[in-house]
Amino acid sequence: MNPLAAALTVRDLSVTFTGGGREVTAVRNIDLDVARGEFVALLGESGSGKSVTARAIMGLTDEYTRVDASVLSVSGTNILSLSEEQRRLMRGERMSLVLQDALSALNPVMTIGRQIGELFIVHRKATRKQARASAIELLALVGIPAPGSRVDDYPHQFSGGMRQRILIAMAIALEPEMLIADEPTTALDVTVQAQILDLLGGLRDQLGMGILLITHDLGVVMEVADRLAVMYAGRIVEQGDADTVLDLPAHPYTQALLRSVPEAAVKGERLLTIPGSPPNPATTPSGCSFNPRCHMAIDICSTARPPLVEVALGRASACHRSEEMLHELVS
Query: Residues in the site for another protein, rule: CB under 8 A?
Result: 45-46, 145, 159-162, 189-195, 197-198, 216-220, 222-223, 242-243, 246-247, 256-258, 260-268, 270-275, 277-278, 293
Shortest Å distance, C-beta 220 to another protein: 6
Least CB distance to another protein at residue 60 (A): 24
3-state secondary structure of 283: helix
Our CB check for another protein shows the closer of 126 and 192 to be: 192
When the beta carbons of 176 and 249 are compared against another protein, the nearer one is 249
In the bound state with another protein, the residue whose beta carbon lies nearer, of 39 and 120, is 39
User: Judged by CB, which is closer to another protein: 1, or 145?
Assistant: 145
Q: Which is nearer to another protein, 23 or 247 (CB)?
A: 247
Complex with another protein: residue 133 or 192, whichever CB lies closer: 192
Which contacts of 259-263 are long-range, i.e. CB under 8 A and separated by 24 or more positions? 261/218, 261/219
Bridge-based pairing state of the strands 227-232 and 210-215? unpaired
Q: Where are the beta strands (DSSP E) in the chain?
A: 6-17, 24-35, 39-43, 65-68, 71-74, 77-78, 95-98, 178-182, 210-215, 227-232, 235-241, 309-312, 315-317
Beta carbon of residue 145, minimum distance to another protein (angstroms, whole number): 8
Q: How far is the CB of 42 from another protein (least distance, A)?
A: 15
Least distance in Å: CB of 221 to another protein?
9
CB of 28 to another protein, least distance (A): 20
Supply φ then ψ for residue 306, to 5 degrees: -75, 130
Is residue 121 a contact partner of residue 129, using CB atoms and an 8 Å limit? no
Per-residue b/e over 217-246, b at no fewer than 16 CB within 10 Å?
bbebbeebbbbbbbbbbbbbbbbbbbebbb
The minimum distance between CB 272 and another protein, in angstroms, equals 7
Count each helix (H run) and each strand (E run) in the chain, helices first: 12, 13
> Phi and psi dihedrals of 175, rounded to 5?
50, 65
**C-beta closer to another protein: residue 93 or 153:** 153
Sign of the C-alpha dihedral, residues 101, 105, 107, 111? negative
